[in-house]
């Protein structure tokens, strides 16, 4: 469904990302694991067209999106939930969701998408008139994901959605992401919360110092000693 390659990002002299490549199939959850500063956010932003990556190749269902500006990439079916959520705090939940439905691909199916979002996040349905800045962090994350889903995406890119949430909310959020997958949407998830994200993922990629250094099924990554040492706090034979 989504195939990307040759993703390189530089900030001045600093090479944040070199020649990254990955793929996401329909309805798959893919997690990208990496330490702070490894290049995870840069990867998602480059795919979404928000950072220049001149030689990048981005194909969605065979269509070449490599040279499209960000709004046309959303129009093609790729939506990003940025780190820090990017919600409009002074607007209500309903207004934030409506903004997500702006792409042409979303307008005709606005009612269906809204119903889907309400089913996934019932709390949003109860709070449609609430100003978003008065909501909890977890609720704001639901608004951000709901708004991205309103664009009727084929693939959702999520940058550290669990950041700042309590363990209980992280579990709720990841359960909701599983349900998003069941609707046929593919998810490309950047996470530092390796344990919870591998528990819901189909496959994963490891990124270190701007390079993809490994990949595998979630089960293989969970039992890999190097992954356990770096991200899960223990060896396969240990208690972790």
Ligand X SMILES: Nc1ncnc2c1ncn2[C@@H]1O[C@H](COP(=O)(O)OP(=O)(O)OP(=O)(O)O)[C@@H](O)[C@H]1O
Residues that bind ligand X (CB under 6 A): 11, 14, 16, 34, 36-42, 192
Distance CA 117, CA 120 (A): 5
In whole angstroms, how close is the CB of 215 to ligand X at the nearest point?
16
Give me the count of residues in the chain: 240
CA dihedral 5, 41, 46, 25 (to 10 degrees): 50
Distance CA 127, CA 84 (A): 21
Residue 7's contacts (CB-CB under 8 Å, 6 or more residues apart) are 17, 19, 20, 21, 43, 46, 47, 53, 56
Nearest to ligand X of 6, 192 (CB atom):
192
In whole angstroms, how close is the CB of 190 to ligand X at the nearest point?
7
Q: How many CB atoms lie within 10 A of CB 52?
A: 11
Nearest to ligand X of 15, 123 (CB atom):
15
β-pair type (63-64, 57-60): antiparallel
In whole angstroms, how close is the CB of 41 to ligand X at the nearest point?
3
Distance CA 96, CA 4 (A): 29
In whole angstroms, how close is the CB of 18 to ligand X at the nearest point?
11
In whole angstroms, how close is the CB of 38 to ligand X at the nearest point?
4
Distance CA 5, CA 37 (A): 20
Nearest to ligand X of 49, 100 (CB atom):
49
Nearest to ligand X of 41, 162 (CB atom):
41
In whole angstroms, how close is the CB of 238 to ligand X at the nearest point?
25
Q: Residues 81, 149: contact at Cβ < 8 Å?
A: no
Q: How many CB atoms lie within 10 A of CB 68?
A: 17
Nearest to ligand X of 150, 194 (CB atom):
194
Nearest to ligand X of 42, 96 (CB atom):
42
In whole angstroms, how close is the CB of 20 to ligand X at the nearest point?
11
With tokens 């409009």, the residue in question is 88
Q: CA Rg, the chain, in Å?
A: 17
Nearest to ligand X of 5, 209 (CB atom):
209
């Amino acid at each position: 469904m989504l195939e990307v390659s040759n993703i390189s990002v530089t900030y001045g002299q600093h090479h944040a990302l070199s020649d990254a490549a990955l793929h996401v199939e329909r309805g798959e959850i893919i997690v990208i694991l990496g330490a702070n500063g490894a290049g995870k956010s840069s990867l998602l932003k480059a795919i979404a067209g928000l950072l220049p990556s001149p030689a990048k190749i981005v194909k969605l269902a065979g269509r070449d999106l490599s040279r499209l500006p960000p709004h046309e990439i959303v129009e093609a079916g790729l939506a990003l939930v940025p780190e820090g959520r990017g919600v409009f705090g002074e607007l209500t939940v309903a207004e934030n969701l409506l903004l997500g439905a702006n792409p042409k691909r979303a307008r005709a199916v606005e009612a269906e998408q809204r119903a889907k979002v309400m089913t996934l996040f019932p709390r949003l349905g109860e709070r449609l008139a609430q100003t978003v800045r008065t909501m909890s962090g977890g609720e704001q994350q639901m608004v951000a994901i709901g708004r991205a889903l309103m664009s009727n995406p084929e693939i959702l890119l999520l940058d550290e959605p669990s950041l700042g949430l309590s363990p209980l909310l992280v579990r709720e959020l990841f359960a909701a992401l599983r349900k998003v997958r069941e609707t046929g949407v593919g998810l490309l998830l950047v996470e530092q919360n390796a344990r919870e994200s591998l528990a819901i993922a189909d496959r994963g990629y490891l990124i270190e110092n701007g390079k993809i250094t490994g990949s595998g099924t979630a089960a293989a990554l969970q039992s890999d000693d190097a992954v356990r040492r770096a991200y899960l706090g223990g060896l396969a034979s240990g208690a972790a």
